């Protein structure tokens, strides 16, 4: 039986889940030949992995326009279907800064006008397929697959247009295909562009979302597995000796640390002001006899200098430990994760008492260590963007999965931060972490550390059909 599996990496997003975890090892133990169909700049052969590089990749010129228009139409249809304006929050503004961007925006609006219906969406999907099949990229994918003869192509990201041609090529050659929904908030955003034979999702909750937003998908096409992104939290070999970790990063062994997990500038445009508010609260607690510090972990795709003045002003309290990601371009999807950063994140969590942030999935990373999360839920004065509010963030669809509001501790005013941190350092955190665990189990299949095993079981079932 052919057990060669092509793991398609259309961009760097899939590296963290499927190259830098034990995903490959689990597959090999089950007898699979794991080959990465690699469109990233990362050389996986240096790790001893089998890979086939995608050398000449170029989508059809219309594909990106059609995808963007499809997202906008899908969001419009979701608003009509549910009578819920929250879907407007997922839109990115159109650009008119240059002639090229203006023409692109006009073209997208024209496509939206002509195809703004369920029937129109179907025509857009068919047009993307027909256009991609005319490209040299598609033919190159056909040639690669005919040469390599994999039993299946597994795509690690459902939202990248560069994955369309490889998937179409596989389907036209009769090779089964599947894609992984890579993030817990993706489906309400109408981001899916890759259409495969099967879909692999985090949870029953995500499966229901997938079937709701894409009714042409049948329940038997969907496999519930969990995500590998949380598996490292259960790998004790990644943990360093506490003293060594503290010495390496200039931490004080006599202090307890809380983690402030930074967001990107779109999610939290005033994030540095929130960090300052937390530092002020820590100062007040230390003035009363406490001995606390802050570990600041910035968002891996945020290379701005917006935190610099806060880090300097509170250098006696805040220790910045930067993510170990590699920047190969100027956009978020050209910043590559590393295996070293996974271990770093695990050790930051292990050596922190709790995490503070805005709306981050770090709540699940910390509850894997039985530690609580504090969500910031107020707006600062002199906001950078007048149209932004923390209240809007928590209205997003994926937060409706929260079984109870007490799954995190809400900071509704900067003057509450010190008191809340004191509570979370005591027994009051037990209820919060228990509820957060229920939330974790709702959005991600458990045991969380066996996600890769369940994915490989699903792959085995698919190729055995």
pLDDT at 259 over 80: yes
Band (pLDDT 50/70/90 cuts) for residue 328 is: low
Domain regions of the chain by residue span: 4-59+135-227+448-463, 63-130, 234-443
The per-residue pLDDT for 332 is 52
The per-residue pLDDT for 334 is 62
221: left (phi over 0), alpha (psi -120 to 50) or beta: alpha
Please give the Cα distance from 3 to 459 (Å, whole number). Answer: 10
Is 98 in a helix, a strand, or coil?
coil
Whose CA is closest to 198, among 153, 162, 160?
Answer: 153
Is 183 in a helix, a strand, or coil?
coil
Band (pLDDT 50/70/90 cuts) for residue 13 is: confident
Task: Please list the residues that pair with 6 across neighbouring strands.
Answer: 35, 153
Band (pLDDT 50/70/90 cuts) for residue 423 is: confident
Output DSSP code: residue 417.
H
Q: CB within 8 A of 393, min separation 6: which ones?
A: 267, 268, 358, 359
Structure tokens at 372: 């609580």
In the predicted model, what is the mean pLDDT of residues 133-152? 98
pLDDT at 146 over 90: yes
β strands within 168-250, DSSP E: 177-180, 198-201, 222-224
Task: Please list the residues that pair with 336 across neighbouring strands.
Answer: 326
Band (pLDDT 50/70/90 cuts) for residue 261 is: very high
Alpha-carbon radius of gyration of the chain: 23
pLDDT digits (tens, 9 = 90+) for 180-210: 999 999 999 999 999 999 999 999 999 999 9
pLDDT at 330 over 70: no
Structure tokens at 229: 């992104």
Torsion sign across C-alpha atoms 107, 110, 115, 121 = positive
pLDDT at 333 over 80: no
233 HSE (CA, 13 A, CB side)? 23
In the predicted model, what is the mean pLDDT of residues 246-252? 98
* Shared fold status for 4-59+135-227+448-463 and 234-443: yes
CATH number of 4-59+135-227+448-463: 3.40.50.2000
Whose CA is closest to 340, among 45, 113, 2, 47?
Answer: 47
The per-residue pLDDT for 331 is 55
| Burial class of residue 444 in the structure, from the number of CB atoms within 10 Å of its CB (0-12 exposed, 13-18 middle, 19+ buried) | buried
Rounded to the nearest 5°, which phi and psi values hold at 411?
Answer: -100, 105
Output DSSP code: residue 21.
S
Q: 3-17, 233-247, 318-332, 417-431: lowest mean pLDDT where?
A: 318-332
Please give the Cα distance from 223 to 206 (Å, whole number). Answer: 10
Structure tokens at 92: 């990115």
| Helix 63-82 × helix 118-132 angle, to 10° | 160
In the predicted model, what is the mean pLDDT of residues 356-382? 96
pLDDT digits (tens, 9 = 90+) for 65-75: 999 999 999 99
Indicate whether this model's pTM tops 0.85: yes
Domain 234-443: which CATH class? alpha beta
Rounded to the nearest 5°, which phi and psi values hold at 321?
Answer: -120, 100
Please give the Cα distance from 266 to 84 (Å, whole number). Answer: 22
């Amino acid at each position: 039986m052919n057990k060669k599996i092509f793991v398609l990496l259309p961009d760097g997003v899939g590296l963290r889940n499927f190259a830098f975890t034990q995903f490959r090892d689990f597959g090999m133990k089950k007898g699979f030949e794991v080959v990465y169909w690699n469109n990233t700049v990362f050389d996986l052969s240096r790790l001893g992995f089998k890979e086939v590089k995608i050398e000449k990749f170029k989508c059809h010129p219309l594909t990106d326009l059609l995808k963007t228009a499809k997202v906008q139409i899908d969001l419009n249809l979701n608003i009509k279907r549910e009578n819920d304006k929250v879907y407007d929050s997922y839109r990115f503004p159109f650009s008119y800064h240059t002639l090229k961007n203006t023409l692109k925006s006009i073209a997208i609006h024209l496509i939206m006008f002509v195809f703004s219906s369920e029937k129109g969406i179907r025509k857009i999907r068919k047009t993307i397929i027909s256009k991609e099949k005319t490209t040299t990229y598609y033919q190159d994918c056909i040639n690669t697959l005919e040469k390599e003869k994999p039993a299946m192509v597994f795509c690690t990201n459902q939202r990248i247009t560069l994955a369309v041609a490889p998937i179409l090529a596989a389907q036209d050659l009769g090779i089964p295909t599947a894609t992984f929904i890579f993030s817990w908030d993706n489906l309400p955003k109408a981001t899916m562009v890759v259409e495969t034979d099967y879909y692999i999702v985090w949870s029953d909750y995500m499966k229901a979302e997938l079937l709701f937003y894409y009714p042409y998908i049948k329940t038997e096409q969907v496999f519930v597995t969990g995500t590998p992104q949380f598996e490292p939290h259960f790998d004790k070999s990644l943990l360093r000796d506490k003293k060594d970790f503290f010495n390496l990063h200039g931490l004080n062994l006599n202090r307890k640390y809380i983690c402030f997990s930074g967001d990107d500038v779109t999610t939290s445009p005033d994030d540095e002001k929130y960090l300052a508010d937390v530092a002020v609260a820590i100062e007040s607690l230390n003035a009363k006899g406490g001995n606390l510090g802050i570990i600041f972990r910035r968002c891996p795709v945020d290379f701005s200098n917006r935190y610099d003045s806060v880090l300097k002003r509170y250098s006696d309290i805040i220790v910045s430990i930067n993510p170990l990601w590699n920047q190969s371009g100027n956009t978020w999807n050209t910043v590559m994760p590393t295996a070293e950063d996974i271990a770093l994140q695990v050790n930051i969590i292990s050596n922190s008492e709790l995490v503070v942030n805005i709306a981050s999935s770090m709540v699940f990373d910390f509850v894997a260590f039985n530690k609580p999360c504090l969500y910031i839920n107020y707006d600062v004065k002199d906001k950078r963007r007048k149209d932004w509010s923390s209240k809007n963030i928590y209205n997003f669809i994926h937060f409706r999965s929260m079984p109870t509001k007490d799954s995190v501790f809400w900071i509704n005013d900067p003057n509450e931060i010190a008191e809340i941190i004191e509570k979370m350092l005591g027994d009051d955190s037990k209820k919060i972490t228990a509820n957060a665990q229920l939330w974790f189990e709702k959005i991600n299949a458990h045991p969380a550390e066996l996600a890769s095993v369940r994915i490989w079981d699903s792959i085995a079932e698919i190729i055995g059909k």
